[in-house]
């Protein structure tokens, strides 16, 4: 059969296609599967390499600067680099160097070390709301660096001698008065894990720097102050918005707030921001002064302004046994276990002129002076004084150890201006003393108020019960004296200047 030209073309095309198909199948049969490794960075494929070991060895050999900086023997791939075995036939294989060049400026390499996580605690903020604290993450090459830093931080809040006596169980026995640590612990959960750590993080190589961070929340140099003639630790601390206790933590060479300073001396001013809560539970026996009451009599035969002491007041003395809890050196709770009267106080009696026309006249003209103010609680332990702490002014005096629902007294006669409840002050009472002065009584137990707004009260009258409502860590009274209306233009004064 004779083929025409068109048929010939079809035959030729069929032969060519057949040839190509045979060649393709032959090639497929000849290809062999290869075991390779796919490199992923943060879940994204970077390509295939022949050897996982070669890439790891190349990274280690190229990162000499990291080895020199951290004094380590080996450098590893980035934490988020995954190398997975795979089988392929003809996909492109990259060189070790090509893959290395892709990752070296993208993600940090890693070295052997420790990751320490200090879990945040749930606490009340300044508005009285519960807030979960943030976790703190720390990196170091040796866990001993962290452990030594923690010990140094603890010794910033407790004297070295007291800490070592507690640690060795050699605390002196309390004979009459004294104090011992019953328990000492960190309230946070701390997780220490050995792992490969990224070199772009702040890796602590020395305990000294880490101690600074654990105390202040930063390793930056703290503010310095040059002592002037006549300066005291209390004055320097207050003027720089820190407490005397914070000053002593930042300046460990001083024994207490009464330590002497000299002009030209340089001291550190740093607001503490501890990265964990060190809880200290003490058993304390102490002899405390008991304030005497002051009774005022008015003699109408004498003009206003006349004052005479009819009977001098004498302070009493009690021996008080207490359980005191401190967090990072700050007293947070006081429980009085026992009170023994050693010396009874003697009442002071003052006679004042009551006849008008001399030095003043009328209701509201009397300004009560030091010694004439009544103590507002049944106990005298001051757990936190007036002044700055953690950079914020503590505008009152905290009195603790009296017990839940123990009596709260009006410090002076006046009119109840306010009774309220909020997240910061808790249940609180404000009294107007009609002489420009106001007193405020915070953290009463819920519903524990025995007066009403507009009611006139007398000095020493029971007005409420002690509690821990609002922003409070334990049962106590936050007592404050104000010149002017509290938080409405008034100025908070140190109540202890009135006693």
pLDDT given for residue 291 in this prediction: 81
pLDDT given for residue 129 in this prediction: 76
- Domain shared by 8 and 71, yes or no: no
- Domain shared by 287 and 259, yes or no: no
- Domain shared by 14 and 145, yes or no: no
Mean pLDDT along residues 190-194: 98
Would you state the structure tokens that stand for residue 77, as one six-digit string? 């791939």
- Domain shared by 135 and 61, yes or no: no
Mean pLDDT along residues 297-307: 83
- Rounded CA separation 407/478 (Å): 14
Task: Please tell me the least confidently modeled range out of 5-14, 91-100, 389-398, 416-425.
Answer: 5-14
- CATH (domain of 349): 2.70.70.10
72 located within any domain = yes
What is the number of alpha carbons within 13 Å of residue 16 lying toward its C-beta?
6
Would you state the structure tokens that stand for residue 10, as one six-digit string? 């079809």
- Domain shared by 284 and 260, yes or no: no
- Domain shared by 44 and 158, yes or no: no
- Domain shared by 340 and 295, yes or no: yes
Would you state the structure tokens that stand for residue 54, as one six-digit string? 């070669």
pLDDT given for residue 369 in this prediction: 75
- CATH (domain of 191): 3.10.350.10
Percent helix / strand / coil, the chain, rounded to 5: 20, 40, 40
Domain final position from 245, 269, 293: 269
pLDDT given for residue 24 in this prediction: 44
45 located within any domain = yes
Say if CB 443 and CB 476 are below 8 A apart. yes
Task: Answer with the residue of higher pLDDT: 28 or 344.
Answer: 344
Say if CB 428 and CB 445 are below 8 A apart. no
- Dihedral sign for Cα 408, 409, 412, 417, please: positive
Angle between helices 52-62 and 96-103 (to 10 degrees): 60
CA distance from start to end of the chain: 134
- Rounded CA separation 446/421 (Å): 8
Say if CB 344 and CB 318 are below 8 A apart. no
How many independent structural domains does the chain possess?
A: 4
Angle between helices 143-157 and 160-167 (to 10 degrees): 120
- Dihedral sign for Cα 383, 129, 134, 281, please: positive
* Residue carrying structure tokens 């004439």: 372
Domain final position from 239, 269, 299: 269
- Rounded CA separation 455/315 (Å): 32
- Domain shared by 227 and 138, yes or no: yes
- Domain shared by 21 and 157, yes or no: no
- Domain shared by 40 and 127, yes or no: no
- Domain shared by 157 and 261, yes or no: yes
Query: What phi and psi values does residue 489 have, to the nearest 5 degrees?
Result: 100, -10
- Rounded CA separation 105/274 (Å): 35
Domain final position from 240, 269, 298: 269
**pLDDT beyond 70 at 358:** no
- Rounded CA separation 384/332 (Å): 8
116 located within any domain = no
- Rounded CA separation 325/90 (Å): 71
Please state, for a pLDDT cut of 90, what percent of the chain lies above it.
75
CA angle 364, 366, 371 (to 5 degrees): 135
pLDDT given for residue 27 in this prediction: 42
15 located within any domain = yes
**pLDDT beyond 90 at 319:** yes
**pLDDT beyond 50 at 22:** no
- Rounded CA separation 116/141 (Å): 11
Q: Ramachandran region of residue 329, left (φ > 0), alpha (ψ -120 to 50) or beta?
A: left
Sequence-separated (6 or more) residues with CB below 8 Å from residue 10: none
416 located within any domain = yes
Q: Ramachandran region of residue 121, left (φ > 0), alpha (ψ -120 to 50) or beta?
A: beta
Q: Over the stretch 345-355, which tens digit does the pLDDT of each residue have?
A: 999 898 988 76
Task: Please tell me the least confidently modeled range out of 96-105, 244-253, 353-362.
Answer: 353-362
254 located within any domain = yes
- Domain shared by 232 and 377, yes or no: no
113 located within any domain = no
Q: What is the pTM of this model?
A: 0.80
Task: Answer with the residue of higher pLDDT: 127 or 467.
Answer: 467
Structural domain of residue 6, as residue ranges? Answer: 1-28
What's the pLDDT band for 105 if we cut at 50, 70, 90?
A: confident
114 located within any domain = no
Q: Over the stretch 390-431, which tens digit does the pLDDT of each residue have?
A: 888 999 999 999 999 999 999 999 999 999 999 899 999 999
Q: Taking all residues of the chain, what is their mean pLDDT, rounded to a whole number? A: 89
């Amino acid at each position: 059969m004779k083929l025409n030209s068109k048929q010939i073309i079809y035959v030729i095309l069929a032969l060519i296609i057949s040839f190509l198909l045979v060649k393709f199948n032959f090639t497929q049969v000849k290809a062999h599967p290869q075991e390779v490794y796919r490199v992923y960075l943060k879940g994204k494929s970077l390509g295939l390499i022949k050897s996982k070991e070669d890439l790891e060895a190349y990274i280690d050999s190229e990162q000499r600067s990291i080895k020199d900086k951290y004094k380590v023997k080996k450098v590893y791939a980035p934490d988020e680099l995954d190398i997975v075995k795979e089988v392929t036939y003809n996909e492109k294989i990259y060189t070790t160097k090509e893959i290395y060049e892709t990752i070296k400026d993208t993600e940090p390499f890693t070295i052997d070390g420790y990751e320490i996580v200090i879990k945040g605690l749930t606490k009340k903020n300044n508005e009285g709301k519960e807030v979960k604290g943030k976790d703190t993450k720390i990196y170091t090459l040796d866990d001993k660096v962290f452990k030594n830093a923690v010990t140094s931080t603890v010794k910033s809040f407790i004297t070295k001698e007291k800490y070592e006596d507690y640690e060795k169980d050699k605390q002196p026995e309390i004979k009459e008065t004294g104090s011992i640590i019953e328990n000492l612990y960190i309230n946070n959960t701390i997780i220490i894990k050995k792992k490969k750590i990224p070199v772009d993080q702040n890796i602590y190589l020395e305990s000294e720097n880490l101690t600074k961070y654990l105390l202040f929340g930063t390793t930056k140099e703290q503010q310095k102050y040059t002592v002037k003639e006549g300066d005291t630790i209390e004055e320097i601390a207050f003027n720089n918005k820190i407490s005397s206790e914070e000053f002593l933590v930042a300046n460990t060479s001083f024994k207490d707030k009464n330590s002497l300073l000299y002009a030209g001396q340089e001291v550190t001013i740093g607001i503490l921001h501890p990265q964990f809560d060190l809880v200290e539970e003490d058993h304390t026996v102490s002899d405390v002064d008991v304030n005497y009451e002051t009774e005022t009599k008015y003699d109408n035969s004498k003009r206003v302004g006349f004052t005479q002491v009819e009977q001098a007041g004498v302070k009493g003395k009690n021996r008080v046994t207490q359980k005191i809890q401190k967090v990072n050196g700050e007293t947070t709770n006081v429980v009085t276990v026992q009170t023994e009267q050693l010396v009874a106080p003697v009442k002071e009696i003052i006679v004042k002129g009551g006849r008008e026309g001399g030095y003043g006249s009328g209701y509201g003209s009397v300004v009560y002076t030091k010694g004439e103010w009544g103590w507002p609680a049944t106990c005298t332990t001051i757990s936190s004084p007036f002044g700055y702490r953690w950079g914020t002014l503590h505008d009152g005096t905290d009195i603790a150890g009296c017990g839940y629902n123990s009596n709260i007294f009006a410090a002076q006669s006046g009119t109840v201006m306010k009774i309220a409840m909020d997240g910061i002050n808790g249940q609180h009472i404000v009294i107007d003393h009609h002489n420009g002065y106001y007193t405020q009584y915070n953290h009463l137990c819920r519903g524990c108020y025995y007066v009403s707004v507009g009611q006139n009260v007398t000095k020493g009258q029971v007005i409420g019960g002690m509690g821990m409502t609002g922003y409070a860590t334990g049962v106590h009274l936050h007592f404050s004296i104000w010149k002017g209306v509290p938080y409405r233009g008034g100025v908070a004064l140190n109540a202890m200047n009135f006693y």
